[in-house]
């Protein structure tokens, strides 16, 4: 039982912080059209700073660390970082573009509970074009390698469905089945926020430029038809959770693009990310989630000084009623129901 986490779900105050997403680096070895992360930020948190942070997080009830970036596997001391969190006995998940899995999977044997690999195309041509680097084949080899190691983690594919790949929805599901991963999940492209390095205005306008990623009205209708077909064909895969989202949830992706075109309201979101999690960047900034602005820096204040500052408590209260505009248009929500929090399901 986790009564503190249960209380978090009702309150602007954090009694504990069970989930932390840590960007171990903001350097990346791909060149996605929708993201400007390329080189590491100057002054990344050092291993000893991360060690100190791991103790502070443990003291505040950390249960699950999710490594993100940039590309975490690019960081040379990433294995040492994982050892720090293994010592405090928390669940570890890796979000990766998969390019270095083939080379480094063995090194991480037994470390991760889950590896989530991003794929933007169901074929090499589409994926490589959207990701800016010939990486598709190497990523599939990396997935196979990760599945073959002794203590193989759960492996998931995550795909951003957008204008240039939505017609491959069947193909993505078939690919996931062929690769033997445990599940596949889909989300819409975030074209509105400054996340994913899009405080870089050039990349931001490139990503949101009409016709680049978002679907026009005809394409929205086409996507709805494809989702309907998929829901008929893959009934078992939906029922088993192999496809993470329900058909209704997939329809929300079409509705999101329809809302961007001004036709309907954005689908109603439910999210309590700031109540149960925090995002920490490679230079120690702390955010309520991937999208909302930072509320401090861990080089200036300790974690437990920041986690209940007046500004984040105010943010939590406003997220609770989905007040921020970003929340209304968000593509990547996190909702831990109070009961799941009580049962410590992080």
Residues in contact with ligand SF4 by CB under 6 A are 28, 30, 32, 35, 37, 69-71, 97, 196, 269, 271, 273-274, 288-289, 291-292, 319, 324, 326-327, 330, 332-333
**Please, which residue, 76 or 268, has the CB nearer to ligand SF4?**
268
Which residue is listed with tokens 């930020």?
41
Identify the sign of the CA torsion 194, 23, 37, 267: negative
**Minimum separation from the CB atom of position 29 to ligand SF4 (A):** 7
**Minimum separation from the CB atom of position 149 to ligand SF4 (A):** 22
**Please, which residue, 69 or 142, has the CB nearer to ligand SF4?**
69
**Please, which residue, 54 or 281, has the CB nearer to ligand SF4?**
281
Using a 10 angstrom Cβ sphere, with 0-12 exposed, 13-18 middle and 19 or more buried, the burial of residue 82 is buried
**Please, which residue, 34 or 258, has the CB nearer to ligand SF4?**
34
**Please, which residue, 70 or 153, has the CB nearer to ligand SF4?**
70
**Minimum separation from the CB atom of position 297 to ligand SF4 (A):** 19
**Minimum separation from the CB atom of position 10 to ligand SF4 (A):** 16
Pick from 329, 281, 287: nearest CA to 311:
287
**Minimum separation from the CB atom of position 229 to ligand SF4 (A):** 29
Euclidean distance between CA atoms 44 and 37, whole angstroms: 14
**Minimum separation from the CB atom of position 333 to ligand SF4 (A):** 5
**Please, which residue, 34 or 168, has the CB nearer to ligand SF4?**
34
């Amino acid at each position: 039982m986790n009564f503190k986490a249960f209380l978090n779900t009702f309150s602007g105050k954090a009694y504990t912080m069970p989930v932390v997403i840590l960007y171990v680096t903001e350097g990346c070895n791909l060149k996605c059209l929708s993201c400007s992360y390329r080189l590491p930020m100057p002054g990344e948190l050092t291993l000893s700073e991360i060690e100190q942070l791991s103790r502070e997080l443990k003291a505040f009830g950390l249960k699950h660390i999710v490594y993100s970036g940039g590309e975490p596997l690019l960081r040379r001391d990433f294995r040492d970082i994982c050892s720090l969190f293994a010592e405090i006995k928390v669940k570890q998940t890796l979000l990766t573009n998969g390019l270095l899995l083939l080379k480094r999977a063995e090194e991480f044997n037994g470390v991760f509970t889950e590896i989530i690999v991003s794929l933007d195309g169901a074929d090499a041509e589409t994926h490589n074009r959207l990701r800016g680097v010939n990486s598709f084949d190497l990523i599939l080899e990396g997935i196979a390698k990760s599945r073959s190691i002794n203590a193989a983690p759960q492996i998931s594919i995550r795909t951003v469905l957008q204008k240039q790949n939505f017609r491959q929805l069947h193909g993505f599901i078939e690919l996931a089945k062929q690769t033997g991963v445990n599940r596949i999940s889909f989300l819409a492209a975030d074209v509105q926020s400054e996340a994913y390095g899009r405080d870089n205005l050039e990349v931001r306008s490139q990503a949101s430029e009409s016709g680049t990623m978002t679907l026009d009205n005809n394409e929205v209708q086409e996507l709805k038809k494809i989702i309907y077909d998929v829901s008929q064909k893959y009934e078992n895969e939906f029922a088993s959770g192999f496809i993470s989202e329900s058909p209704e949830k997939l329809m929300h992706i079409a509705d999101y693009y329809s809302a961007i075109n001004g036709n309907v309201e954005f689908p109603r979101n439910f999210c309590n990310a700031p109540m149960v999690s925090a995002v920490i960047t490679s230079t120690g900034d702390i955010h309520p989630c991937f999208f909302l602005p930072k509320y401090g820096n861990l080089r200036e204040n300790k974690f437990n000084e920041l986690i209940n500052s007046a500004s984040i408590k105010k943010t939590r209260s406003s997220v609770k009623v989905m007040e921020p505009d970003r929340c209304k248009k968000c593509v990547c929500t996190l909702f831990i129901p109070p009961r799941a929090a009580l049962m410590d399901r992080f």
